Structure 1
Amino acid sequence: MPSKTGASWRSPHLAADKLQAVALPGESQSGRLRFPAHEENVVVKSLLHAVVTLAFAGAPLAALAQAPTPAATPPAAAAPTLEPATSPLQLPYPVFGTPVNGVVGPPSREYPTVDLKQSIAISVARSPVLASARADAALAAVQVRAALGNALPNVSGAASTTRFRGSTQSGVQSGVRTNEALTQNQIALQVRQLVFDGFRTEAQIAAANAASVAAADSYRSQLQQLALNVASSYYAALTAERQTGAALASLKNAQTQRDLVAAQAAAGTAARSDISNAELQVAQARVVVIKAQAAALTSLASYATTLGLSPEEIVQPVDDVPASNPGIMSALAVPSYQEALKRAFALRPDWSAAQEQVLASQRSLRAARAARWPTLAGSASAGSSSTDLTGGTFQPSWNIGAQLTLPIYDGGIIAAGVKTAEEQEAKAQAAQTTTQLTIESGVKQALIGLASAEAGLTAANQERATADETLKATEARYKAGVTTLPLLLQAQTGYTTALVDQVNAAYGLRQAEQQYLFAIGDNVKI
């Protein structure tokens, strides 16, 4: 709240900065404070205000008169902390910021850890998308059995018993009226076999078989896509956690520099106003930590959801990037485009599915055209039926024959079926071309991404090494009084940027590797 003198007040820690802001116009080279005469009342009132405020806050009154000492880490009341015991992030420093209740879960460090293969296995077992794809493959297999049944003999049996009054049935003086109730029993076995239908049934079986293979390949394609999604979520969670660690390391470094500036100001080799600049760096670093922590928790929740688990369940992915030196991580070799494309067309299940869909549409068209051909079927039956009034005295009977059916006019039904099959074939051909272009583009982009990621990691490692060296040299020069605070803060900013760039480059390479393996159809061993 503004005071009567017009000076604003925020916290006891800024008292020295307020004094320095008044003292800057008359500051001597020795570091002593000299105030213009017309500003002495302002200074005195500011001092009194600071003393009263510090007294009520419980701070020592001698703090203003003594040389500033290195500031301690802010207490929990000033900056709420989430204890590592209640956090899934295994970090070397306290995590600043208090998340929403229930997000992290019960205070326990017994979080299950899973590697990438285990993560994929969990998602495969729980994924509803894969369950739907499995059902589609099973339905397609059933259609094969249904089509095959048309080519097999059709055997059926029949039995009947009838009691009536009226004209007698065949075998008992047909046409004679009687007042007695009659009983007739009959049993028969019938067989029907398709002989020729213009190879229509054969084409239908081939079409169903190709569609079944396409459904199975589509399931494999869904499996590979799921594995890519799991890998992306897996490394996104690890990236967010490592970025939180980098933010915490940057915060710790900013606190060290703040203490260094305070010590330099106490020795008279730095202006007291530099302390506020260093405090600003600490505050900004703390904000970055809070945001990074939120991003890490969000990434873990998204990772659990990708596995088919509740976002309330915390599953910790195993980090396969070296913590001390990400630059030594292994990487895949970058092949030529033609070699990678050849592998992709050999391994990608979506390409195989597209080819089978084209084959199925061609066979369906052939079956539709075969409907114009005549159909020849043979049939035979054998049985026995009663011949007396009481349903006894059985007499055997049998018959054998053939049936020829020739379509003459059906109102255009066959023509419409042929036209539909032709359009379905054209659609399947277009889908195959689209799949081919998608695979070619995906392989090209994956190769570019992989090569770029490997080069980016090399550059990020060099950037990190240069930033470390620059920061150490600048801190040493600042301690010796031969450089300025802006250069020190600039070195700190460069160090923070290098940390984040190295983390992003390391996990970006892992993401690029997974994208490349997916592009060539080798990210899941089936």
Structure 2
Amino acid sequence: MRQSVRVRSTLALSAIVALATWAPTSYAQQPSKRPPKTPAAQPAAPTTPAPPLNTPLEVPPPPTVNDPMLAPVPPAAKNVGSWEQALDMVRARSTDLRIAFDQVKAAEAQSRVALGSALPTLQGTGAATYNFLTKDQQQIAGLDVTGGTITPRFQSVESPTRGPFLTGSLVAAVPLLSPRAWYGIGTAHATEDFARLSVEDAKRTIALNVANSLIGVVTAERVAELNRIGFRSALERLELAQRRKQLGAATGLDVVRAQQDVESARATLVTGDESLRKTREALGLALGTGEPIGVEPSISLDGIEKSAGTACKPAGSIEERADIAAARQNVVRTERTITDAKYQYSPTITAQSTLSATSVDSNQQNPTWNIQAILSVPFYDGGIRDGQRRAAYAATDQAEQQLVAKRRAAEVDVARARRQVSVATDSRKVAADARQLAAELDRLTRAQYIEGEGTSLDLVIAGSGLRNADVNLALRDFELVQARIVSLLALANCPF
């Protein structure tokens, strides 16, 4: 009986010594106060009391573990090294920015069209004609004298208009009175200004999207790294639980709990790696390419925030923000369409001169030249102008309501963005405190377990809590920087 007790005591002590290798290497290294291991033939009896739980323990390195999933996610084929490089890629490849610039070019083209309708025009026409059905002409071929009577003799001659013959004309027209054409020039310029302001709003939106995408990749990289650290820690727990079971100091339940913790950490690792791949793809789309793009390790969250603040300048008020200015200009543009519809009822006067010539041999003047003054009065067109006038009123009211809605949304966005900075700061502080508590709980739980107190369930729960706290703190860092950038760009213009 005594021999059996001695054997069990020796096994328990050996298991405790083996578990000392489980503690993380980040613990403070201090001289150990634990007694030396006694020989197997003598009872294990410590000569000094166990150290308090809050005293750091000197522990050997953790056991060596190996798993294919410990390898990091392969780096992206292309990486962004700075905010300026990201903006260069946006200028060269962004489809949204290209579309906005194309809209400006289209508005400029319409301005030229509006100007052309108020300027003189010169138009030339030419035609080659052959008439298949014509009437022959009768002409006097001579005179017949019979008995003192003179009778003309006629003969049929082919009509000179049968052809082929050529005709040409040159027409010059000068608008003398054209109120609608003159007013349309100003309307086209208003549309051009609206398109330019839309480009500025697109730049602000693109800058915010790029900044968020960059921060998302940096955060996903950090979360993936933390997931691997937690996964390695879970594998070390499993290795030591299996070793302890072999020494007789643990049960199969302890091993199963450790295995369950490993699978939970593995699932988190898989999800985190996929999130990293998605954020790289999102960054690629934001930069105007279809391939994933990563970030250089030298990029930091604070650096992204400072660079975004340099590229975008704060606006004085909500009215100066690009989208509000564009909506206000849209109201001006649509209001002009009402007056444009009214000008359709106005008469027009045009001076026109025509020079024409033909190859037909006739007795008429060839070529001919005339000058005309043409008065055009639109009396009735079936109701087309009235319908266009009512459509212009409806479009103007719609633009005004859109301006009101954008103002309200902008006010809420600015207030929410500024408030979110305070909320994100508090959330980050709470997450930092929770992470510190989780780390201390994990340390104390390990220390207790090494001293033979506590259960494997406590150990697994403490380790899982520390992993979650690390990831949560990384996410709160991301949210804080994101909130600062959103607060900056909520009331800013980005003339990059």
Say yes or no: TM over 0.5. yes
C-alpha deviation, 1:271, in angstroms: 7.1
C-alpha deviation, 1:488, in angstroms: 3.9
Which of 317, 321, 345 pairs up with 1:347?
Answer: 321
Q: Is the 8 A contact 1:192 1:378 kept in 2?
A: yes
Whole-Å separation in 1 of the counterparts to 2:289 and 2:303: 30
Query: Amino acid of the residue matched to residue 371 of structure 1?
Result: Q
C-alpha deviation, 1:463, in angstroms: 3.0
Whole-Å separation in 2 of the counterparts to 1:387 and 1:292: 85
1:53-92 correspondence runs (5 A): 80-81=68-69, 83-84=71-72, 87-89=73-75
Q: Which moved more, 1:145-154 or 1:231-240?
A: 231-240
Query: Amino acid of the residue matched to residue 380 of structure 1?
Result: S
Whole-Å separation in 2 of the counterparts to 1:181 and 1:272: 119
Whole-Å separation in 2 of the counterparts to 1:363 and 1:429: 13
Which of 414, 417, 432 pairs up with 2:385?
Answer: 414
Q: Is the 8 A contact 1:478 1:488 kept in 2?
A: yes
1:454-465 correspondence runs (5 A): 454-465=425-436
Gaps of 5+ in 1: 1-25, 34-68, 90-108, 169-175, 333-338
SS in 1 for 2:338: helix
Query: Amino acid of the residue matched to residue 88 of structure 1?
Result: P
Query: 1:413/1:291 Cα in 2 relative to 1: closer, same or farther (>3 Å)?
Result: closer
Match of 2:119 in 1: 152
SS in 1 for 2:382: coil
Query: 1:396/1:315 Cα in 2 relative to 1: closer, same or farther (>3 Å)?
Result: closer
> In the alignment, does 2:401 pair up with 1:437?
no
Q: Is the 8 A contact 1:88 1:111 kept in 2?
A: no
Match of 2:419 in 1: 448
Which of 78, 101, 110 pairs up with 1:134?
Answer: 101
C-alpha deviation, 1:459, in angstroms: 2.9
TM-score (norm 1): 0.66
Query: 1:397/1:190 Cα in 2 relative to 1: closer, same or farther (>3 Å)?
Result: same
C-alpha deviation, 1:499, in angstroms: 0.5
Whole-Å separation in 1 of the counterparts to 2:77 and 2:388: 63
**1:12-37 CA distances to partner (integer Å, 9 max, x unpaired)?**
xxxxxxxxxxxxxx9x995989xxxx
> In the alignment, does 2:186 pair up with 1:206?
yes
**1:291-331 CA distances to partner (integer Å, 9 max, x unpaired)?**
32233233333433444434xx4432235675xxx8x8896
Match of 1:196 in 2: 177
Whole-Å separation in 2 of the counterparts to 1:387 and 1:193: 29
Which of 474, 478, 503 pairs up with 2:474?
Answer: 503
Match of 1:235 in 2: 215
Whole-Å separation in 2 of the counterparts to 1:461 and 1:187: 88
Q: Is the 8 A contact 1:163 1:181 kept in 2?
A: no
Query: 1:74/1:394 Cα in 2 relative to 1: closer, same or farther (>3 Å)?
Result: same
Query: Amino acid of the residue matched to residue 337 of structure 2?
Result: S
Query: Amino acid of the residue matched to residue 484 of structure 2?
Result: E
> In the alignment, does 2:373 pair up with 1:373?
no
Query: 1:330/1:123 Cα in 2 relative to 1: closer, same or farther (>3 Å)?
Result: closer
C-alpha deviation, 1:440, in angstroms: 1.9
> In the alignment, does 2:492 pair up with 1:525?
no
Whole-Å separation in 2 of the counterparts to 1:450 and 1:320: 25
SS in 2 for 1:404: strand
Query: Amino acid of the residue matched to residue 285 of structure 1?
Result: A
**1:150-169 CA distances to partner (integer Å, 9 max, x unpaired)?**
1111123456788999679x
Count of residue correspondences: 418
C-alpha deviation, 1:497, in angstroms: 2.2
Gaps of 5+ in 2: 13-59, 139-153, 307-312
TM-score (norm 2): 0.69
Whole-Å separation in 1 of the counterparts to 2:426 and 2:233: 28
**1:44-87 CA distances to partner (integer Å, 9 max, x unpaired)?**
xxxxxxxxxxxxxxxxxxxxxxxxx99955555xxx44745xx4
Q: Is the 8 A contact 2:111 2:189 kept in 1?
A: yes
SS in 2 for 1:376: strand
Query: Amino acid of the residue matched to residue 232 of structure 2?
Result: K
Query: 1:301/1:330 Cα in 2 relative to 1: closer, same or farther (>3 Å)?
Result: closer
Whole-Å separation in 2 of the counterparts to 1:525 and 1:235: 21
C-alpha deviation, 1:458, in angstroms: 3.0
C-alpha deviation, 1:502, in angstroms: 1.2
1:50-449 correspondence runs (5 A): 80-81=68-69, 83-84=71-72, 87-89=73-75, 111-157=78-124, 179=157, 182=160, 189-197=170-178, 199-257=179-237, 274-310=254-290, 313-319=291-297, 342-348=316-322, 350-381=323-354, 383=355, 389=361, 398-449=369-420
Q: Is the 8 A contact 2:65 2:235 kept in 1?
A: no
SS in 2 for 1:211: helix
Whole-Å separation in 2 of the counterparts to 1:146 and 1:152: 10
C-alpha deviation, 1:118, in angstroms: 2.8
Root-mean-square deviation (CA), in Å? 4.3
Q: Is the 8 A contact 2:315 2:492 kept in 1?
A: no
Q: Is the 8 A contact 1:122 1:307 kept in 2?
A: yes
C-alpha deviation, 1:365, in angstroms: 0.9
Query: 1:452/1:177 Cα in 2 relative to 1: closer, same or farther (>3 Å)?
Result: farther
Q: Is the 8 A contact 2:137 2:158 kept in 1?
A: no
